[in-house]
Structure 1
């Protein structure tokens, strides 16, 4: 049995259904990140786990115990919110120990737990300060320390870095990974920032519209998305999605028109499901390159440069191809852009195909290739 299990969970506010049939397992000690756009239900799911929101139907279990009707204070969870929510008139030590003092914990035990948390978070020199005397990062560490002293079974983070500037967010991400390594406690983290999700997670849970779209290790979701939403959401820049039509599909080959060179795009592809006429071809920016000529039957596109983002060691080239679709190419600074029109080639082994409804069209050939890539 998994440490935390969510089975067929739903949440409705009156006639509005915000979470639908959530099924999820989280192992002890995992760092799991719920990620998705604003309004997708990720924070609501987090609040259901800790008991701040009632579950409409289904069950939530922690360490084998169904906690649907268990008081939040008795679930063994601790929440860190986007707002630091520190008491301005209390010192750092008093803020961190507040819940313990309210629970009647002996003073010696409070001191031990506060000093241990302060050591983990490098707050020893700040224990006598008040929140007004702290930076944003220090306030967030105090909020995390307030959770640590409770010694929970599960840490829950609801977009805790959103109020910090970009440099401090990077620093705090590193500190959170270090904290997880030190404590080894199960952590569930909510964010709309997929870069945070990719860098923090052992397991990513991508959500949209109250539905779990895909669950897995970050790089698996990046390399092998189940649908167009995951393909477009995970990764910065996102995966390029280019419309095409199926010209023929037989004898282990798939030919697409409107995207390849002369004769179309010819792929070794044995579909595991019916291939419809209209599809989308997905390729990551790093799997496309600027070329002088392209081989017949390969992926060949011509695009007009509309924007170049120079980022130092590399650049992102934004192109508009014939049908008005915008794509992005990751290119080296050494690559000459020449005139405003470029020829683009793509790696056919890295192509992902999607049906008109957004679902992934998988191939037994592509599956074998992916397995070989992982082994290598």
Structure 2
């Protein structure tokens, strides 16, 4: 029996000059002087699979560590393409026995070598073992009992995360076969584009585009209203503690017949693309400045400056002696004060006379 898909590779123990016998998990088996195996690398007695899938002593009776008089076989099958998923999806990691046999009572191990502990799901004697299961997968992994009856030991993984990406190992000790599945979980988000400012050098408008929450790292492209690519600056990418990327890009656009600009963020490996559109009004574009204006301004400024200097010098030449000017101003002020007092007194007298006449009028 073997697992479907991929290319099968086998290694065995030959006659004279061959390699030491292997357990179904691929472990070297220590042989006695008679050539019989003595032990298989077991780390505990709780029925938990060790680093290579070999089980504890209570499973030895099930011929999981075979004697050297039976040729040990250890097959590896790997898919050619990774399994692609988007964060939040439910996925199925495929693993099928061929020919199909009832696997309900078989020992099934799903693991991820990069994890510690590495066990994602372990089933033994019809029961799920959760002792050494990685906590990141608790409550998210299941097997279908109906499918197990037909040799389908595929793992159901719900609500996948970016951290779930990696290589998974499906191992059936009774079959001495292991099957590897590569999972790539991607993430994407909607970008945001906005006006960043004016570029006076080119009389253009600068636009910024930013998008967070991507995995793997995406690329940013700009397009005009006709779908033509625009030349943009270097795309900045920052990777956060959650392994998600934030990308940003800036482009300078000049006035054209169609000022509709598109910012697209895409990741081809996970077949994800998000885009946003922005329209730049014609009024935002600055007309090229003419050199006549600054030259005219400089000429006028110089003329006013020269005129002010000439007037200042002329006033100094026509200036009256200081003492005579001060005396004249003082006399003028005194006379003005006397006139004010006489005017006020006259007004008061007129008012009093008017009141007196009104009171004595018959």
Q: TM-score range by the shorter chain?
A: under 0.3
Structure that is richer in helix per residue: 1
Question: What TM-score do you get using the length of structure 1 for normalisation?
Answer: 0.23
Structure that is richer in strand per residue: 1
